[in-house]
Structure 1
Amino acid sequence: MASRARRKQRWCTQTLTPLMEGPDPEMQEEGNKKESSWEVIREWFRTQKGLSATNFSMSNLYENNPAKSQDLRLLLGVLGCPLAPIPLVNHPIHHIRVKDIPIETSTAHYIIQQYLAASGCLKQQKCAKNMYATGSVKMICCETEISSGKNVKSLGTRSGESGCFVVWQMLPGMWSLELVVGGSKVIAGSDGKTVWRHTSWLGTNAAKGPQRPLRRIIQGLDPKTTASLFAKAQCLGEKRIGDDECFVLKVCADRAAVMERNEGPAEVIRHVLYGYFCQKSGLLIYLEDSHLTRVQTQENDSVYWETTIGSSIGDYRDVDGVLIAHQGRSIATVFRFGELSMQHSRTRMEEIWSIDDVVFNVPGLSMDSFIPPADIFDNVHCPSR
């Protein structure tokens, strides 16, 4: 009865639009325009284009814009609740296959096995059914570089906003996130089938393509989920991260899964995940993913958007026999460039995060805790409407 009552709730009245992982192209006429979850970033780069075409000073024009609010929305859009590049695999991750597979793949399997052992997952007696974590964040506003070939201009400040977040997870694939920074809130979740996000300025949006885990969870909060993402990885070799020698694993989203995320003239080219595992400790200490989208403009030009997020992960502590990362720093770069033009824009943003508390097997947490908002549920399960 409780589940039926929740499904009947009208959680949000805005029109449901796809949750895109790249800037929204200008697909609609002004009179029939729909906001997407990346409308903010599109407007941000529109502003940059206008700035580079004028003779006004960058500083004066920046002061006359509501830059602080725009920066924060862009930060929350990119770093608030990004998803991992690939869906979770269904086959067991504790079994190492070494026969009839390339050496790069078998080496990656061995590294992941060592990672599970180092994090304590292999010796854990009781499997964790769910997880609760709270944390603090500081998001640093954007710095943008605009280049037209010969001239380079900069826009933005490094002022920051602090906030906090709460994450709930129930395996397999169910999670919920609430993030509040600078008075703005992002709410997102997954019921194992549908991923959705809600902000006050864009309403509720559903993600296209296969269901994928929350990136914030694989940044040291859930070693088993992280290991599952690298189940089909290849070992690229070794690389030093800071003072640590690391094995580098790479896994790519397959073409079919990437194509499911296409929207109108926006085509996802690739989405790649790299994991850097410390040779000394066996733990994941750096995570990077790169996402490239090509957009066909109304002028029939191709514009490319590349979003890269790199996260340093550390301060591992024992929580019920599992080593959980309690601190990290993420740097995101959004790079916009044209196929035939010398012009490009590069925006850099940063998040410093820490975990305050982690609890496994929370009593009373059930599947009903992850039911999507009514607008998402109606759109997904009642397509005829």
Structure 2
Amino acid sequence: MRKLFPNFDKAEGLDTVLEIPIPEEMLTNMGTNGFNRWQTLKTLMNSQFLDSSDLSAPLNNEFIVLLKLVAAPLIPLHVHSDQTLTRPLKDCSIKDSIAKYIVQQYVAATGGVGALNSLKSMYAMGQVSVYLTEMHEGGGDDSYRPRGRAEVGGFVLWQKNPDLWCLELVVSGFKISAGSDGKAAWNQSSSQPFHANKAPPRPLRRFFQGLDPRYTANLFLDAECVGENTINNEVCFMLKLQTDKKILQAQSTSNTEIVMHTILGYFSQRTGLLVKFEDTKLVRMKPVKGKDSVFWETTIESTIEDYRYIDGINIAHSGRSVATLYRYGAGYNHKRMIEETWNIEEVDFNIVGLSVDCFLSPSDIEKEHEGSEQAGGMS
């Protein structure tokens, strides 16, 4: 991963530190002239969108929507990163007590309660490869195939207790930013310059891909054990969370109804570690008078591997996610998939000097909040 770039403005000056480290392959694709590469990089880092991808123009909008789906989705629940990681096993059902025991084993396998509770902040930097996949009629695995070559890129992720996080991700010529300021989560991309999600703040799904054991343990403390399954030759316990209807209603909008959001975690019986994270969300677009409803179903499956200890915390260093977007109803029958593989290059904890100011939201979020309050006052 390239972190520094020659200072073309001042030959005797220090090298420029890149805001988002990028793979050498991505830099190579920007051309052979160093100055032109630097100009391209500056434009990319200072804008939300730069059409430097090899994807043809008609695919750009579709790609950015799918990239956003796999890169920066949120978990529907408000999950604490700094609360206790254990719950008493008494006064609960057998299924619930089994789930809590499995979470206790996971906490032990990732470093233990003491080590995890000592974490106040974290930083991760990694590399991604993304494939856009098209579906052909006929069904089955053979009906899907990658469209073109992989798009490569990198990301930086910061987190601080409580409820503060920030993600910057660049893939080929596309940039996505997302974050949480402790009050609400937000994201930006070319197709949607700014979008704030309804409070309370929710964590980024990427934390649950083996990067932050605190989030994972707290998420599944209230889960139910629903059986066993084998993932990559590992026999796993399956823990399930079904998002409460009241929470889904609170996150729905005037145009959409979130019908369900189900989360599954697969924990190895041998190691206690999380080896697969899966969630499915179903959204109904509220129909215009006289028309049928249209449904959007998204499923993201992440397999997680290559756990290594960093400062006493067992962190996954690679994995693969497959996100499926299925639109149906009112004559629609459209399915698209995007596949992401990632490798973690660096992880660090308890970052010195990481202040709240590093997680400030864009100024647009204040305007959106003010607009919501005014709309609420008129309703």
Superposition map of 1:75-114 within 5 A: 75-89=66-80, 92-114=83-105
Q: Which residue of 1 aligns with 2:275?
A: 285
Of residues 362, 368, 371, the one that matches 2:360 is: 371
The corresponding residue for 2:197 is: 207
Task: Pick closer, same or farther for the CA change 1:109–1:144 going to 2, 3 Å.
Answer: same
Aligned to 2:309: 318
Residues 1:235 and 2:218 aligned together: no
Aligned to 2:10: none
Contact 1:108 1:234 in 2 (8 A): yes
Paired letter, 1:370: F
Q: How does 1:14-93 map to 2 (within 5 A)?
A: 66-89=57-80, 92-93=83-84
Distance 1:255 1:209, change over 3 A: farther
| Structure 1 CA distance for aligned equivalents of residues 207 and 81 of structure 2 | 18
| Alpha-carbon distance change, 178 to 197 in structure 1, aligned in 2, over 3 angstroms | same
Amino acid at match of 2:325: V
Q: Which runs of 5+ in 2 are unaligned?
A: 1-54
State the identity as a percent.
Answer: 41
Looking at structure 1, the residues matched to 186 and 276 of structure 2 have their Cα atoms a distance apart, in angstroms, of 27
CA offsets per residue over residues 92-133 of structure 1, 9 Å max, x none?
A: 543332222111111100100110000003242871111111
Aligned partner of 2:299 in structure 1 is 308
Gap change, CA 1:231 and 1:384, over 3 Å in 2: same
For the 8 Å contact 2:265–2:276, the answer to whether it is kept is yes
CA-CA distance at 1:167 after TM superposition: 0.2
- Which SS does the other structure have where 2:66 is aligned? helix
Of 242, 245, 256, which aligns to 1:255? 245
SS at match of 1:306: strand
The answer to whether the 8 A contact 1:72-1:141 is kept is yes
Of 171, 176, 193, which aligns to 1:181? 171
Residue deviations 1:16-64 (CA, integer Å, cap 9, x gap): xxxxxxxxxxxxxxxxxxxxxxxxxxxxxxxxxxxxxxxxxxxxxxxx9
What CA distance in whole angstroms lies between the structure 1 residues aligned with 2:276 and 2:82? 25
CA offsets per residue over residues 157-209 of structure 1, 9 Å max, x none?
Answer: 24320000000000121100000001211111001111011123421110125
Distance 1:329 1:245, change over 3 A: same
Structure-2 separation of matches of 1:110 and 1:307 = 30
2:258 match: secondary structure: strand
Give the equivalent residue in structure 1 for 2:17.
none
Q: Which of these residues, 357, 364, 370, is aligned with residue 346 of structure 2?
A: 357
Separation of aligned partners in 1, 2:254 and 2:116: 48
CA displacement 1:59-102 (0-9 Å, x = unmatched): xxxxx962442343133221120111321159954333222211
Q: Tell me if 1:119 matches 2:110.
A: yes
**Which amino acid in structure 1 is aligned with residue 97 of structure 2?**
S
Distance 1:156 1:169 in 2: 33
Q: Measure the CA separation in 1 of the matches of 2:170 and 2:116.
A: 35
Q: Flag the structure with more relative contact order, 1 or 2, with Cα contacts below 8 A and sequence separation at least 6.
A: 1
Matched, 1:267 2:257: yes
Counterpart Cα distance in 2 of 1:88 and 1:175: 13
Superposed CA deviations along residues 298-325 of structure 1, whole A, max 9, x for unmatched, are 3420222110000000100110000000
Task: Using the TM superposition, give the Cα deviation of residue 154 of structure 1 relative to its aligned residue in structure 2, in angstroms.
Answer: 7.9
| Aligned equivalent of 1:32 | none
What amino acid is the match of 1:120?
A: G
Q: Which amino acid aligns with 2:69?
A: V
Equivalent position SS for 1:260: helix
C-alpha distance in 2 between matches for 1:300 and 1:192: 39
Q: Is the 8 A contact 2:66 2:337 kept in 1?
A: no
Tell me which amino acid in the other structure corresponds to 2:368: N
Deviates more, 1:356-365 or 1:126-135: 126-135
**For the structure 1 residues 224 and 102, does the alpha-carbon distance in structure 2 shift closer, same or farther, using more than 3 Å as the test?**
same
> TM-score, with normalisation over the residues of structure 1?
0.77
- Kept after mapping to 1: 8 A contact 2:127/2:154: yes
User: For the structure 1 residues 374 and 265, does the alpha-carbon distance in structure 2 shift closer, same or farther, using more than 3 Å as the test?
Assistant: closer
Say whether the 8 Å CA contact 1:146–1:344 is kept in structure 2: no
Counterparts of 2:145 and 2:124, CA distance in 1: 36
Q: Residues 346 and 146 (structure 1 numbering): CA distance in 2 closer, same or farther, change over 3 Å?
A: farther
Q: Displacement of 1:225 after TM fit?
A: 0.8
The alignment's C-alpha RMSD in Å is 2.6
Q: Return the letter of the residue paired with 2:87.
A: I
Give the number of aligned pairs. 318
Extract unaligned runs of 5+ from structure 1: 1-63
Residues 101 and 197 (structure 1 numbering): CA distance in 2 closer, same or farther, change over 3 Å? same
CA contact (8 A) 1:86 1:252 kept: no
- Offset at residue 369 of structure 1 (A): 1.0
CA distance in 2, matches of 1:154, 1:91: 41
